[in-house]
Each structure stands twice: as C-alpha cells, then as structure tokens.
C-alpha cells in the first residue's frame, strides 16, 4: 500500500511523517510519499503524525479507519497545520509579573449548538495546556492548536489578589 501525505491548506508534500496503517508503519520521503507492507484486506486504523501538524486521527475522526482492498492500494492523506498563539504582556510596572499571573486560553465551542468558550485543548485532547505562566519577560505561548476562534485572558492565579491603585 502506498500514497502521499500533503498539507491540507497548501497541497505541498509533508516530509518525515509517520504513517501507521494497522500494524504497518512507513515514513514519508521528500515528496510526501510513503509505502507500507501489504496489509490484510479489511478495515484498518490510520494514524499519521508529522512535526508542526495535528495528528490525522484527531482531525479526521470519520476517516481514521480505511477499507483495505486488493484493487485500492493507493491512499492519500491531508494534514492540518498546528497553530501557535504567543504574545507578551507588558505594563509600566513589571513587578506584577512575578506575582503569579497566568494566561488562560479559551476556545470557541458550538458542540451543543450554543456558542461557548471552554478551556482550549491540544490536539483534541484534555485541556492540559490551556494555562500558561507568564515568563520573566512577560511572554507566553500556546502550541499545537487546531483551527478555531480563541480568547486569551490574563489574571492572577487562584488564591492571589490584585490591588490596583489609581
């Protein structure tokens, strides 16, 4: 079985992607082409990962399994580039950054038909990277994000108090 892995937005080939079909594993070349040993006919799980891209099985739930038949030995796949949101928070008095402030990333969610913003997830998994501590220089970063709308909130971590003087 063979095929090509390309960028969903640009159509350009993706080099060094890991392609797992059933228990067979292959890697893409500079042209995004891969080949795996013959797999048994039937249904097989597809997992594709490449640096800088969302894992195929997380973004293509309906296509995470393919039907393997003798007359269809070529399967092509498209990966969605992962996004990074980064920034820097500044203020005239930089002392506040050392007081335990954090940045929270919320992602728009229409799952039940109602617009909400919930903690953002990484690669469709648990929201373990939705809070970023602000670094010494005021910078923060969230990576491995899928397409969508996001809101960034900066606030003191729970248990801390903020006093503002006028």
Question: What would the 3-class secondary structure string for the chain be?
Answer: CEEEEEECCCCCECCCCEEEECCEEEECCCCCEEECCCCCCEEEEEEEECCCECCHHHHCHHHCEEEEECCECECCEEECECEEEEEECCCCCHHHHHHCEEEEEEEEECCCCCCEEEECCCCCCCCCCCEEECCCCCEEEEEEECCCCEEEEEEECCCCCCCCCC
Q: How much of the chain, in percent, has pLDDT values that exceed 70? A: 70
Residue 80: which of 2, 145, 18 has the closest Cα? 145
Structure tokens at 165: 């003087």
Between strands 2-7 and 77-79, the pairing is: parallel
Distances (CA, A) of 137 to 94, 97, 140, 146: 9, 8, 9, 27
Specify the range with the lowest mean pLDDT, choosing from 19-33, 73-87, 92-106: 92-106
Q: Given this model, what pLDDT does residue 126 score?
A: 40
Over 90: is that where the pLDDT of 17 sits?
Answer: yes
Q: Given this model, what pLDDT does residue 19 score?
A: 94
Q: Given this model, what pLDDT does residue 13 score?
A: 96
Contact between 165 and 96 (Cβ < 8 Å): no
Distances (CA, A) of 2 to 56, 69, 80, 130: 16, 13, 20, 37
Q: What is the mean pLDDT of the chain?
A: 77
Structure tokens at 140: 């923060």
């Amino acid at each position: 079985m063979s095929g090509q892995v390309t960028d969903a937005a640009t159509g350009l080939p993706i080099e060094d992607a890991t392609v797992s079909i059933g228990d067979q594993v292959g890697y893409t070349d500079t042209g995004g082409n891969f080949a795996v040993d013959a797999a048994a006919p039937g249904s097989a799980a597809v997992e594709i990962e490449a640096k800088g891209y969302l894992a195929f099985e997380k973004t293509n739930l309906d296509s995470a399994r393919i039907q393997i038949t003798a007359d269809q030995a070529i399967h092509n796949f498209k990966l969605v580039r992962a996004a990074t949101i980064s920034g820097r928070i500044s203020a005239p008095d930089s002392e506040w950054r050392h007081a335990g402030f954090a940045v929270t990333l919320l992602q728009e969610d229409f799952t039940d038909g109602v617009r909400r913003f919930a903690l953002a997830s990484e690669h469709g998994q648990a929201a373990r990277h939705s809070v970023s501590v602000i670094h010494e220089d005021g910078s923060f970063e969230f990576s491995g994000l899928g397409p969508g709308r996001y809101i960034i909130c900066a606030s003191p971590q729970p248990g801390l108090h903020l006093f503002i003087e006028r």
